[in-house]
């Protein structure tokens, strides 16, 4: 068995579609949680490689600015050392950084 946290608030993407846009405060609170998750991953030498609103679950049905977020979908993640360059283009095209898109 695998026991996991119940995230019944949908995805961050669902909230964006419903609200049509986020206020500056909503965006800042959401991005702070996401950057903390990414920071933790990088400290443990993990690169997610597919961060997008659909891969961020909202823990509860509270408004986004009051809810806890969880980064999910580690199917494309990999172990990487500090300074290592990843050459493979993976992830969702619409959310790729220019640096990844411009790789030869």
Report the SS3 class of residue 79.
strand
Count of other CB atoms within 10 angstroms of residue 55: 22
Instruction: State yes or no: 73 annotated in a binding site.
Output: yes
Q: Name the catalytic one among 14, 45, 50, 62.
A: 50
> What domains, with CATH codes, occur in the chain?
12-101 (1.10.510.10)
pLDDT at 104: 55
Contact 46, 26 (CB under 8 A): no
pLDDT in tens, 36-62: 999 999 999 999 999 999 999 999 999
pTM: 0.88
Catalytic, 45? Answer no
Contact 103, 87 (CB under 8 A): yes
């Amino acid at each position: 068995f695998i026991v996991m946290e119940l995230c019944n608030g949908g995805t961050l993407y669902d909230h964006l579609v419903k609200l049509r846009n986020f206020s500056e405060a909503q965006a800042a609170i959401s991005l702070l949680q996401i950057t903390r998750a990414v920071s933790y991953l990088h400290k443990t030498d993990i690169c997610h490689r597919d961060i997008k609103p659909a891969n961020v679950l909202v823990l509860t049905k509270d408004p986004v600015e009051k809810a806890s977020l969880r980064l999910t979908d580690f199917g494309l993640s990999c172990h990487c050392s500090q300074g290592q360059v990843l050459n493979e283009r993976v992830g969702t095209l619409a959310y790729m950084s220019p640096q990844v898109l411009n790789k030869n």
